[in-house]
A and B are shown apart, each in its own frame.
Chain A
Amino acid sequence: MQKIIKIENLFYTYQKEEIFNNLSLTIDEASFTAIVGNNASGKTTLIKLIAGLLPSNNSIIAGYAYVNSKKMYLTTEFYGICLDNMIDNFLSHDVYSELTFPLENLNMEKDLIEKRILEIARLFKNTKMLDKKIDDLTICEKKELIIMIALLHKPKVLLLDNMLSMLTKESKKKIIRILKKLQKDEKLTIIATTTNLKDIVESDYTIVIHKGKIVMEGKTNSILNEDDILNKVGLELPFMENLSKKLQFYEVIDKVYQDMDDLVNDLWK
């Protein structure tokens, strides 16, 4: 598969504190990659470096261009960026003008803008939200709006920093369903960071980072089996993995179950 983002020998220090020392990784095109790590592991910094919001000295290639924090216009259309603090930083009073602003910046025609906004609102089933004021939105709706804005200009890569936490069950299901659809239909690459292993279950590929180093990476299912390492870097296993690992320890079962019915059926035949 084609690599869409390549990071080679990345060094980054912040206020004399070394955050990344010789980090290399690649991300496949049209994949859903999760980056997990505990608080202060460098997830957000990595997302910002990939997005070009922090200087990376030509060690990151996005598509066919080097990411350069001084020439961000080279990669703006390539990325859709959702950062955690955007929730407090909306520009306009109402949802509709918040959605028009980025498209006006791209010099799009007025009727095309209208069409695109309706399209994205229908995709998220949020057409009612367009008339609302930003102040009246709940945290969930605000997060959905941030993702909608990021997807407006049809980016190649969507960067989500901690976007999947603090969502209701329905909203999270909806967002994941939409993202997977875009991944399949439009070859969207998704990179999401999180502290919670519950959120990565839907992803294809997982990278675990701890103190600025990649501890392990691989297919999400195989990563969830490595409970020793996950616990060591301070991550909590999802319920089924946790239960089966503990039962395995007592030699009651001999493999990890992800489905509750399978486990119950195998325990008591």
Chain B
Amino acid sequence: MEIELKNIGYKYKNKKLLDKIDLVFKEAVITGITGEYKSLLLEIIDAKVKPTIGEVVIDGNQVNNKNLLNIRKNVVLVTQLTENQFSNESIKEEMYFVTNYINYNSKNIEKRMYESLKIVGLDDNYLDRTISSLSSGEKKLVQIAISLVSNPKVIIFDEPFEELDYDNKKLLIKLIKRLKHKYHKTIIIASNDINMLYELTDEIVILKNGKLKVFLKTQKALQDIELLEKLNIEVPNLVKFTNKARAKKIRLMQHRDILDLIKDIYKHV
């Protein structure tokens, strides 16, 4: 499912927070968003906030009040975990609560619940677990599983890796890749973590002063040091290292995975 933003602008107290944003998010592509007012843009895509001007077109249909419920089923926003993220005691109740809210009916809804738990890598007996018994890593996975029950086509993550430890982070990276390759979902990730965006995303969006500055292939944008310096964005560590080696006339390739880089270094020493 494709999402198109046409000339989106958002004004708050006479200040233009977002201005003239044109973007396309394609199917089976991971798009990263970094810069200012990321979360606001995500809420506009998710139709939680109405833009001052411009329109959001999802799968050829312009978003309006009539097709809002349909959009809720197909587009989900996985927010940052907060203290009062969940409103019910058990995971099953929470899943029923959310599907009720978006008016999602299916004959075998329980089967969908098991399936979505399976996608995130949790087994069946989690369905009856209470939320308070989960660790924060498990909470994140459960939060994603809950969003997946209605089988959405577009999944939006807001800073998904903050506060996760190393093991859970690796799990989540694998999960996001699987959602892209196996289930062909449209995935949008907003984050400040440039290193993670460099490794994981296909396309990258950089926002600055409310304007869209960059919308390019990740490799192209994040290897362009002049551009990043102009926008005051950190250079990914892998790129920084390769450039320093190249300055010494060592012909290293640009790599997105640290193990590939090490193999390449090994060839050159």
Binding site for B on A (CB under 8 A): 38-40, 85, 88, 162, 165-166, 168-169, 195, 231, 234-236, 239-240, 242-243, 246-247, 250, 252, 260-261, 263-264, 267-268
Please, which residues of chain B bring their CB within 8 A of the CB of A231?
166
Report the separation of the CA atoms of residues A246 and B259 in the bound assembly, to the nearest whole angstrom: 8
B135 is an interface residue with CB less than 8 A from chain A: yes
Asked whether, in the complex, the Cβ of B83 is within 8 Å of the Cβ of A85, the reply is: yes
Report the separation of the CA atoms of residues A263 and B84 in the bound assembly, to the nearest whole angstrom: 46
Binding site for A on B (CB under 8 A): 80, 82-84, 135-137, 159, 162-169, 192, 195, 234, 237, 240-241, 244-245, 248, 250, 258-259, 261-262, 265-266, 268-269
Asked whether, in the complex, the Cβ of B258 is within 8 Å of the Cβ of A165, the reply is: no
Please, which residues of chain B bring their CB within 8 A of the CB of A235?
165-166
Name the CB-closest residue of A to B192. Answer: A168
> Taking A39-B164, A39-B168, A243-B258 as contacts, is the C-beta distance between A264 and B241 under 8 angstroms?
yes
Cβ of A248 to closest chain B Cβ, rounded Å? 11
Asked whether, in the complex, the Cβ of B195 is within 8 Å of the Cβ of A239, the reply is: yes
Report the separation of the CA atoms of residues A83 and B52 in the bound assembly, to the nearest whole angstrom: 36
Asked whether, in the complex, the Cβ of B240 is within 8 Å of the Cβ of A260, the reply is: yes
Known: A88-B84, A264-B244, A268-B250. 7 other contacts (CB 8 A): A169-B234, A236-B169, A246-B258, A250-B266, A260-B241, A261-B244, A263-B241
Please, which residues of chain B bring their CB within 8 A of the CB of A39?
135-137, 163-165, 168
Among B82, B135, B163, chain A packs the most CB atoms within 10 A around the CB of B163
Please, which residues of chain A bring their CB within 8 A of the CB of B168?
38-39
Please, which residues of chain B bring their CB within 8 A of the CB of A250?
262, 266
> Taking A264-B241, A267-B269, A268-B269 as contacts, is the C-beta distance between A38 and B165 under 8 angstroms?
yes
Report the separation of the CA atoms of residues A264 and B246 in the bound assembly, to the nearest whole angstrom: 10
Cβ of B75 to closest chain A Cβ, rounded Å? 23
Asked whether, in the complex, the Cβ of A267 is within 8 Å of the Cβ of B167, the reply is: no
A-B contact pairs, 12 of them (CB 8 A): A165-B162, A165-B163, A235-B165, A239-B237, A242-B258, A246-B258, A250-B262, A252-B265, A252-B269, A261-B244, A267-B245, A268-B245
Cβ of A264 to closest chain B Cβ, rounded Å? 4
Report the separation of the CA atoms of residues A268 and B265 in the bound assembly, to the nearest whole angstrom: 10
